[in-house]
Structure 1
Amino acid sequence: MSLRTQLNNVLPDILPASPKEAIKGTELIRLVRMRLDGNYSDASLRYHFSIMSCDPGSSIAKVEKGQGYYRRTAAVPALAGAQELLSMTQGRLDDLGSDQDAVDLALLRVKKFRAIIHRWCEINGRSPFVFREPFNANAPMGNLWKFPELMLVDWEGAGEDDSLNAVLKLKNTLNLPPFRLYASRLRIQPNIHTFREDFFQALSASVWANGGELFYATAIDDEALTDAFRKLNATFGVGVTSFGLSLEQLDDLPRPAHILNAHPRETEALMERLEVHRVAAAHTRPHLDWGALDAIRNDSEEVDQLFAWLAESLESGNTKSFTE
């Protein structure tokens, strides 16, 4: 049996699941050697640790900014989808098991994260538009690949008081794009088994926008996963950002409605809990794909609502949020 095969067999039982409890190479060599058949040098074992940790399909992962190794795993695999878990696939919820408390907890985490992103976007000058109708109980599964959870509107030239300043008004007069639209997918936790589905679903849902973004609630500590996202970003352009919230921190957050309606000081305290890390910046396309946009207009009336809101904002001279 090859060394790599033996390591694949023994490492899952030795490595800790949390990066915070990562085992340094010297200690890992000692523990592994006790369970291997054959006399392998330290250099050979370190080489295999290094090579395998760069393979997203292996069980060993290396701490991205530090020392040590841990077990590559997915704590909440059922959260590969976010918006769709809320209303669309009761069958998929049934697959989570008969533990209704676990299902409720998973959905609550999703709602809290969506509320956090909503407030974070507003604070950072990005106007969010939430798509709901394409994900209702009777909607086709194909909508998961057509629509984002959030469309983020970046007004190029909006003032601090949400007014359209002279630069933006001039762009509008010259028929230059006064805003850019970024279609965003929200996920709780990166999963080595589903990260490609997350990424390409975000890409598919953003083909008609100026760009696409994939947001994760938890940190992305897996160096191999980070590299994989950056390689995908270099080719396809979808941005990837993590917000550094542990599952325990998500559970400690107030209810979603409270997050959305929090007072400024409360919102500031909530934002201080975030550790925002941009793994890869979204590539920006200069124009919307009007053909792709026209192809999905009949699939949801909310597409027309989005552009009616944008047109009203331009006519009224301010960029108030959609709910207002």
Structure 2
Amino acid sequence: MQNQYTFFDLIIDVFTIVKTPLSPDEIWEKAIELGFDKKLGSLGKTPSATVGARLYVDVKENGENSRFIQVSKRPSRFLLRSLSLNKKEIESEIEKIEKKEYTEEKNYKESNFNERDLHPLLVKYVKENSHFHCFAKTIYQENSVRKVKGANEWLHPDLVGVYFPFGDYSPETTKLQKSMNVNSIKLFSFEMKKHLDYANLRQCFFQAVSNSSWANEGYLVCLKINNDSDFRNELQRLSNAFGIGIIKLNAQDINDSEIVCQARYNENIDWDTLNRLAEDSPDFKRFISDLTEDIALGKVKSNYDKVISDEKYDNYLKEKKII
């Protein structure tokens, strides 16, 4: 009987070919590229996290007898011990990788597109994704009632969304839900960022916490997220603690975007915050008015942000120069 192909086999096979220090995410990406992922019997929900767990445990428990060595901590990178690179060679390889990553990160942060250019990407994703299937609307903070400096800070989400059950349930089922006071409508809050790393994590995260208490689910949405395993673990920890979800957009294939951390569903709407948003923001007030009208009609007739068609999507990315 042939032995089952394991994650350890996959990691060793990747290093045997690549021969350079890699993070768990990079190992998994390379494994997919080389087709090693197809040899595994079961992938699990987060295979790159499984790769990281296998490496961390093996290095920690076996020390110098481990088949792997950890060559850097932030980001965490590993190497197959049998490759026998000396310290200078390892440092040289890491320097090359970090120089390349620094250049890519610098080019990305200096790119001309802004956060609001990403709104149509999210609008398309949440409308077509089965978890959300929602209509979204941009909230323009500059339209809000002017108050003393800092009064409205972190109050407004970048986008809001609403899921209606009209298309998923028959009119009879919807009427029954209404008579039984069952609410299938969901409200979403989205905070948009171009990138997320150690430098801006807490500010971005708690901004999302601050402006999403009124919604059933709140999300922090990014186009680029630091791939370091320690960083992803910190993201998950914060998400578990405060209930905020994380979405990583894939600009090239928007339907392949990823819910990195699922938001905790909040049954209790914060009506005070919702009321303040409606008082301060004409856009949010219009959103509430529109969804209330649609609920009364039992169908969507209001104007939410337009969903870009597949035919126009690529042209939009080129026009806005979104990387």
Q: Same fold per TM (> 0.5)?
A: yes
Q: Post-superposition shift, 1:190?
A: 1.5
Q: Post-superposition shift, 1:146?
A: 0.7
Structure 1 equivalent of residue 118 of structure 2: 113
Distance, in Å, in 2 between the alignment partners of 1:134 and 1:174 is 41
Structure 2, unaligned stretches of length 5 or more?
1-19, 31-62, 79-92, 307-323
Q: Post-superposition shift, 1:113?
A: 1.6
Distance, in Å, in 1 between the alignment partners of 2:224 and 2:302 is 27
After superposition, the CA RMSD in angstroms is 4.0
Distance, in Å, in 2 between the alignment partners of 1:211 and 1:150 is 12
Structure 1 equivalent of residue 157 of structure 2: 148
How many residue pairs are counted as aligned between the two chains? 229
Paired AA for residue 113 in structure 2:
A
Please, which of 288, 297, 318 is the counterpart of residue 307 of structure 1?
288
Does 2:220 correspond to 1:214?
yes
Contact preservation (8 Å) 1:134, 1:300? no
Structure 1 equivalent of residue 260 of structure 2: 279
Distance, in Å, in 2 between the alignment partners of 1:75 and 1:120 is 25
Structure 1 equivalent of residue 52 of structure 2: none
Distance, in Å, in 2 between the alignment partners of 1:319 and 1:190 is 34
Does 2:172 correspond to 1:166?
yes
Contact preservation (8 Å) 1:220, 1:242? no
Distance, in Å, in 1 between the alignment partners of 2:191 and 2:213 is 13
Structure 2 equivalent of residue 233 of structure 1: 239
Partner of 2:215: helix, strand, or coil? Answer: coil
Distance, in Å, in 2 between the alignment partners of 1:294 and 1:164 is 31
Distance, in Å, in 2 between the alignment partners of 1:277 and 1:210 is 19
Please, which of 246, 249, 254 is the counterpart of residue 243 of structure 1?
249
Alignment CA distance shift 1:175-1:321 (3 Å): same
Contact preservation (8 Å) 2:189, 2:212? yes
Distance, in Å, in 2 between the alignment partners of 1:78 and 1:291 is 39
Identical counterparts, % of pairs = 19
Contact preservation (8 Å) 2:215, 2:270? yes
Distance, in Å, in 1 between the alignment partners of 2:172 and 2:71 is 57
Alignment CA distance shift 1:241-1:62 (3 Å): farther
Distance, in Å, in 2 between the alignment partners of 1:76 and 1:135 is 32
Partner of 1:187: helix, strand, or coil? Answer: strand
- 1:257-284 CA-to-partner distances (Å, cap 9, x unmatched) read xxxxxxxxxxxxxxx3553222110101
Partner of 1:286: helix, strand, or coil? Answer: coil
Contact preservation (8 Å) 1:188, 1:217? yes
Distance, in Å, in 1 between the alignment partners of 2:191 and 2:143 is 13
- 1:114-135 CA-to-partner distances (Å, cap 9, x unmatched) read 1111122222321102211456
Paired AA for residue 150 in structure 1:
L
Q: Post-superposition shift, 1:179?
A: 1.0
Distance, in Å, in 1 between the alignment partners of 2:125 and 2:284 is 23
Distance, in Å, in 2 between the alignment partners of 1:296 and 1:282 is 21
Query: Normalised by the size of structure 2, how large is the TM-score?
Result: 0.58
Query: Normalised by the size of structure 1, how large is the TM-score?
Result: 0.58
